[in-house]
Amino acid sequence: MLDREKSRLITQCTGDAPMGQLMREYWIPVIRTSQLIAGAPPHRLTILGQPLVAFRSPEGEIGLMDEACPHRAASMALARNESHGLRCIYHGWKISAAGLVTEAPTHPEHFPLERLKSRSHPVQVRQDMVWTWLGKGTPPPFRELAFTTLPDDQVITATAIVHCNWLRPLETLWDVFHSQILHHDANRQMPFRGDNYFSKEGRRTDTGMQYDYPEMLVERKPYGFMHINRDARKQTTGHFVMPCVQFHSVSPDPLEDKALKISVPIDDHTTLLWSVVFNRHGPLKSTGFGMTNLGRVKDRDDLFNNLRAGPDRSAQTRWNQDRGAMARGESFSGFVEDVPTLTLLAEDNYVLESQADYDRSQEQLGPVDRAVVEGRRVLLDALAKHQSQGESLGRDVDATDVWSEYVLSETVES
Ligand code: FES
Ligand SMILES: [Fe+2]
Helix residue ranges, H only, 4-143? 4-11, 18-23
In which region does residue 210 sit, left (phi positive, over 0), alpha (psi from -120 to 50) or beta (all else)? beta
The verdict on the CB of residue 93 being under 6 Å from ligand 1 is yes
Spacing, Cα 183 to ligand 2 middle (Å): 7
Q: Which atom of ligand 1 is nearest to the CA of 104?
A: 3
Spacing, Cα 347 to ligand 2 middle (Å): 7
Residue ranges matching CATH 3.90.380 in the chain:
152-411
pLDDT in tens, 389-407: 999 999 999 999 999 999 9
Residue 89, pLDDT above cutoff 80: yes
| C-alpha to C-alpha distance for 403 and 138, rounded to whole angstroms | 29
* Closest residue by Cα to residue 290 from 329, 239, 330, 251: 251
Which pLDDT belongs to residue 411?
63
Among residues of the chain, what percentage have pLDDT more than 70? 98
Which pLDDT belongs to residue 327?
95
Contact between 158 and 303 under an 8 Å Cβ cutoff? The reply is yes
Helix residue ranges, H only, 106-244? 167-174, 178-181, 184-189
Spacing, Cα 334 to ligand 2 middle (Å): 14
Residue 6, pLDDT above cutoff 50: yes
Q: Which atom of ligand 1 is nearest to the CA of 92?
A: 3
pTM for this one? 0.96
Q: How confident is the model at residue 88 (pLDDT cuts 50, 70, 90)?
A: very high
| Chain mean pLDDT for the chain | 95
Of all ligands present, the nearest one to the C-alpha of 341 is: 2
Residue 29, pLDDT above cutoff 60: yes
**What is the strand order of the sheet 27-32 is part of?**
27-32, 129-133, 123-126
Spacing, Cα 358 to ligand 2 middle (Å): 19
Mean pLDDT of 226-242: 97
CATH of 27-133, one of 3.40.50.720, 2.10.109.10, 2.102.10.10, 2.60.120.10: 2.102.10.10
The verdict on the CB of residue 65 being under 6 Å from ligand 1 is no
Burial class (CB in 10 A: 0-12, 13-18, 19+), 111: exposed
Kindly list the distances between the CA atom of residue 115 and the CA atoms of 4, 102, 405, in Å, as whole numbers in the listed order: 45, 11, 52
Which pLDDT belongs to residue 52?
98
pLDDT in tens, 306-322: 988 666 788 899 999 99
Residue 87, pLDDT above cutoff 50: yes
Distance of CA 179 to the CA centre of its chain: 18
Which pLDDT belongs to residue 277?
98
Which pLDDT belongs to residue 410?
75
Residue 126, pLDDT above cutoff 70: yes
- Dihedral over alpha carbons 303, 304, 310, 312 (to 10 degrees): -170
Among residues of the chain, what percentage have pLDDT more than 90? 91
| C-alpha to C-alpha distance for 191 and 109, rounded to whole angstroms | 67
- DSSP lists the bridge partners of residue 86 as 81, 95
| C-alpha to C-alpha distance for 313 and 330, rounded to whole angstroms | 21
| C-alpha to C-alpha distance for 334 and 352, rounded to whole angstroms | 15
| C-alpha to C-alpha distance for 347 and 183, rounded to whole angstroms | 7
Of all ligands present, the nearest one to the C-alpha of 176 is: 2
| C-alpha to C-alpha distance for 91 and 106, rounded to whole angstroms | 7
Considering the domain 152-411, what is its CATH architecture? Alpha-Beta Complex (3.90)
| C-alpha to C-alpha distance for 368 and 229, rounded to whole angstroms | 9
Residue 358, pLDDT above cutoff 60: yes
Mean pLDDT of 67-81: 98
* Closest residue by Cα to residue 171 from 242, 240, 228, 236: 240
Of all ligands present, the nearest one to the C-alpha of 344 is: 2
Q: Whose CA is nearest to atom 1 of ligand 1?
A: 72
* Closest residue by Cα to residue 134 from 213, 20, 34, 211: 20
Residue ranges matching CATH 2.102.10.10 in the chain:
27-133
Q: How confident is the model at residue 414 (pLDDT cuts 50, 70, 90)?
A: very low
| DSSP secondary structure, 346-392, as one string | HHHHHHHHHS-SS--TT----GGGHHHHHHHHHHHHHHHHHHHH---
pLDDT in tens, 32-64: 999 999 999 999 999 999 999 999 999 999 999
Which pLDDT belongs to residue 108?
98
